[in-house]
């Protein structure tokens, strides 16, 4: 089987690295990655733990398919309690690091305690050692990776690290691997920084064994064919990336604009996928250079971009003139539509900054959007911002604030709090577009009703990747539903949540679910692991994971009162587009959702449900 059956436990307080056997009973019930690591985490950590204390733990986890020949098997997950949210945090990344970790012989790494000084974890197959990272402290993700490669004398190592944001207390710092793939949300990088852990450098050459190679390769071959034949995974995502969505969602009237004051952005066409392929007026070149793939991925949705070297943000800064990780839809939206900025080059620069300094672009952009609204109403002034005219649409202000936030300087330090704390500080908590402390992404629940329930019930705070009902409500996958009605959305959200948890736990990318069903995935897992896996058992695993996360949050102090949305979405009707006059009808969906979940009317998993799921 593909499990190495080894967990690396790293005690940062004592400076020790120890191997221990993987709990195979738990692996059968929680599969891996998001599921199995959450089980380990919740068994070992008090739900009320301070996320930034030495008592909090941080887990890097692979799934059973991670690093194998399964399509999109580059995924790995970080599990901890989120610095931004105080809820269970589960941030998933692609790239090559996860596959390298598995090939080094480790299913999971558990970090505990806190180092007295900056360290990095150096892994070469079975050997793991903590080393001094003093020289890297204060450096960016990009510089840290270069320094680690130089220190090892090996360009083939894979790295996951924090940048300056993770060191300076920014509450939504990301852990970035392969320079521009990120476990981005909820402040997992902040937790890593609080432990004085700068990076993990990994080299793995041991290979991965599956239990039934013939069965496994037949199943992966079938999945690869389905992905190639599907227009979204075979053509849409490779050609346009997720950015094909910008004009779709704007036209649908569900593009949160200027901190959610509007649902359509007049500048959407300037910052979407089509704009990225259009030659610039300034130098005749397109922003998009090529696509790229993570480990084992036949979809290749990554964007590789090259900026106009004379753009104000990078003029005289040659390190930004090469080809780097380009804009994905969520980032273009948060840095663009949410701030009213339609300068594609400026957004590309800010995206680079997020990768370089290690920040979540969704929370960064939306927090700046909230600050811009407070600037507009006079709650924040140039005295607060250090003279910056923080107006909606001001691209230069956006770039400057992103720089300052990454470095934790001036008003950037306050932007680094996230919108919830920032808006509370300046007396306008209602202007934070967040749930459980985390900002919602690029789909307005007034125009896509299922996403309101998705955000309100997401265990890690507002998120689109827990149940992407946009697939059904807008794109018609697997079947078209009406985005403007709350009817039927409780069941839709539950089904998406459970299935997504299973995809995550398997160690493959959720984008495969545009084409693959769990009926397609199950044979891969069945060939990979011993056992008898089916779509039914995978859905049960997904439901178990969802309830385990929920139970942790309830024990941490969250209640049904936290399953809500910003008042703006519940009371201020959309002004334009198909949803004109509509608000989110969360109140109609939530009771039905609780019932379908087998939870009490107060949103608590019932004893019967917990028993049924063996929790």
**Phi-psi label, residue 581: left if phi above 0, alpha if psi -120 to 50, beta otherwise:** left
Check: CB of residue 465 under 8 Å from CB of residue 455: no
Interface with other proteins (CB under 8 A), residue from 151, 217, 292, 475: 475
Q: By three-state DSSP, how is residue 475 classified?
A: coil
Q: How far is the CB of 517 from other proteins (least distance, A)?
A: 13
In 3D space, the residue among 248, 186, 225, 184 whose CA is nearest the CA of residue 448 turns out to be 248
Burial of 477-490, coded b for 16+ CB within 10 Å and e otherwise, reads beeebebbebeebb
By the rule CB under 8 A, 48 interacts with other proteins: no
Pairing verdict, β 288-292 and 197-203: unpaired
Q: By three-state DSSP, how is residue 289 classified?
A: strand
CB closer to other proteins out of 217 and 226? 226
Interface with other proteins (CB under 8 A), residue from 55, 143, 251, 520: 251
Taking contact as CB under 8 A, which single stretch among the options 227-235, 308-316, 325-333, 560-568 is the one that binds other proteins? Answer: 227-235
CB closer to other proteins out of 270 and 592? 270
Interface with other proteins (CB under 8 A), residue from 477, 510, 560, 615: 477
By the rule CB under 8 A, 244 interacts with other proteins: yes
In 3D space, the residue among 140, 169, 95 whose CA is nearest the CA of residue 355 turns out to be 140
Q: How far is the CB of 120 from other proteins (least distance, A)?
A: 41
By the rule CB under 8 A, 235 interacts with other proteins: yes
Q: How far is the CB of 349 from other proteins (least distance, A)?
A: 22
Interface with other proteins (CB under 8 A), residue from 44, 156, 229, 595: 229
Check: CB of residue 29 under 8 Å from CB of residue 22: no
CB closer to other proteins out of 234 and 603? 234
Q: How far is the CB of 595 from other proteins (least distance, A)?
A: 29
By the rule CB under 8 A, 230 interacts with other proteins: yes
Residues between 564 and 583 with contacts to other proteins, criterion CB under 8 A? 577-578
Q: What residues have CB less than 8 Å from 91, skipping those under 6 apart?
A: 77, 78, 174, 175, 182, 183, 184, 185, 186, 188, 460
Q: How far is the CB of 360 from other proteins (least distance, A)?
A: 26
Taking contact as CB under 8 A, which single stretch among the options 9-17, 238-246, 380-388, 516-524 is the one that binds other proteins? Answer: 238-246
Interface with other proteins (CB under 8 A), residue from 189, 193, 253, 358: 253
CB closer to other proteins out of 98 and 267? 267
Q: What residues have CB less than 8 Å from 358, skipping those under 6 apart?
A: 140, 141, 161, 162, 163, 164, 165, 166, 173, 174, 175, 176, 182, 189, 406
Interface with other proteins (CB under 8 A), residue from 224, 225, 247, 600: 247
Q: How far is the CB of 237 from other proteins (least distance, A)?
A: 8
By the rule CB under 8 A, 231 interacts with other proteins: yes
By the rule CB under 8 A, 330 interacts with other proteins: no
Q: Report d(CA 500, CA 540) in Å as an integer.
A: 12
Interface with other proteins (CB under 8 A), residue from 64, 163, 204, 273: 273
∠ CA 246-249-236 to the nearest 5 degrees? 55
By the rule CB under 8 A, 275 interacts with other proteins: yes
By the rule CB under 8 A, 240 interacts with other proteins: yes
∠ CA 425-361-366 to the nearest 5 degrees? 40
Helix crossing, 535-556 with 518-528: angle to 10°?
90
Distances in Å between the alpha carbon of 452 and those of 430, 546, 568, 586?
17, 18, 12, 6
Return residues touching other proteins (CB under 8 A).
Answer: 229-232, 235-237, 239-240, 244-245, 247-248, 251-253, 269-270, 273-275, 471, 474-477, 480, 482-483, 514, 577-578
């Amino acid at each position: 089987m593909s499990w190495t059956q080894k967990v690396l436990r790293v005690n940062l307080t004592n400076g020790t690295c120890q191997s221990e056997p993987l709990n195979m009973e738990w692996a059968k019930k929680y599969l891996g990655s998001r599921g199995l690591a959450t089980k380990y985490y919740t068994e070992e950590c008090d739900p009320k733990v301070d996320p930034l204390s030495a008592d909090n733990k941080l887990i890097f986890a692979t799934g059973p398919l991670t690093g194998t020949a399964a399509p999109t098997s580059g995924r790995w997950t970080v599990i901890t309690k989120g610095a931004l949210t105080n809820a269970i945090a589960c941030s998933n990344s692609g790239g090559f690091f996860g596959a390298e970790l598995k090939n080094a012989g480790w299913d999971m790494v558990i970090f505990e305690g806190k180092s007295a000084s900056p360290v990095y974890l150096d892994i070469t197959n079975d050997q793991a050692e903590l080393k001094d990272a003093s020289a890297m402290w204060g450096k960016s993700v990009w510089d840290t990776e270069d320094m680690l490669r130089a220190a090892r004398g090996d360009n083939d190592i894979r790295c996951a690290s924090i940048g300056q944001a993770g060191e300076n207390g920014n509450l939504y710092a990301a852990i970035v691997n392969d320079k521009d793939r990120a476990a981005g949300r909820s402040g997992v990088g902040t937790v890593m920084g609080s432990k004085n852990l700068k990076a993990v450098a990994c080299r793995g050459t041991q290979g991965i064994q599956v239990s039934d190679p013939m069965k496994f390769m037949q199943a992966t071959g079938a999945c690869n064919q389905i992905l190639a034949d599907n227009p979204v995974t075979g053509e849409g995502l490779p050609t346009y990336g997720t950015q094909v969505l910008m004009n779709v969602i704007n036209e649908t009237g569900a593009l949160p604009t200027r901190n959610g004051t509007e649902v359509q952005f007049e500048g959407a066409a300037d910052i979407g996928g089509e704009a990225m392929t259009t030659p610039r007026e300034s130098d005749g070149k397109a922003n998009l250079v090529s696509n790229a793939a993570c480990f084992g991925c036949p979809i290749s949705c990554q964007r590789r971009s090259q900026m106009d070297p004379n753009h104000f943000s990078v003029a005289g800064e040659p390190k930004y003139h090469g080809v780097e990780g380009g804009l994905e839809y969520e980032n273009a939206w948060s840095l663009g539509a949410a701030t009213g900025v339609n300068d594609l080059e400026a957004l590309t620069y800010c995206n680079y900054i997020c990768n370089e300094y290690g920040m979540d672009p969704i929370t960064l952009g939306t927090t700046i959007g909230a600050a811009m609204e407070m600037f507009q109403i006079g709650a924040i002034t140039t005295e607060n911002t250090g003279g910056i005219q923080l107006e909606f649409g001001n691209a230069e202000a956006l770039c400057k604030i992103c720089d300052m936030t990454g470095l934790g300087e001036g008003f950037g330090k306050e932007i680094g709090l996230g919108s919830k704390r920032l808006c509370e500080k300046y007396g306008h908590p209602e202007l934070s577009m967040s749930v459980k402390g985390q900002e919602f992404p690029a789909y307005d629940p007034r125009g896509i009703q299922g996403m309101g329930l998705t955000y309100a019930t997401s265990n890690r705070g507002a998120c689109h990747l827990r149940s992407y009902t946009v697939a059904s409500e807008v794109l018609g996958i697997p079947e078209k539903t009406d985005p403007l009605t709350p009817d039927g959305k409780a069941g839709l959200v539950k089904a998406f949540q459970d299935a997504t948890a299973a995809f995550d736990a398997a160690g493959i990318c959720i984008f495969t679910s545009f084409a693959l069903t769990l009926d397609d995935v199950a044979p891969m897992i069945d060939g990979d692991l011993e056992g008898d896996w089916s779509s039914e058992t995978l859905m049960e695993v997904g439901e178990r994971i969802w309830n385990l996360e929920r139970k942790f949050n309830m024990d941490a102090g969250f209640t049904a009162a936290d399953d809500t949305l910003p008042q703006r979405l519940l009371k201020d009707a959309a002004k334009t587009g198909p949803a004109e006059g509509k608000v989110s009808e969360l109140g109609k969906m939530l009771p039905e959702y609780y019932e379908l979940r087998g939870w009490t009317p107060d949103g608590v998993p019932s004893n019967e449900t917990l028993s049924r799921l063996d929790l």
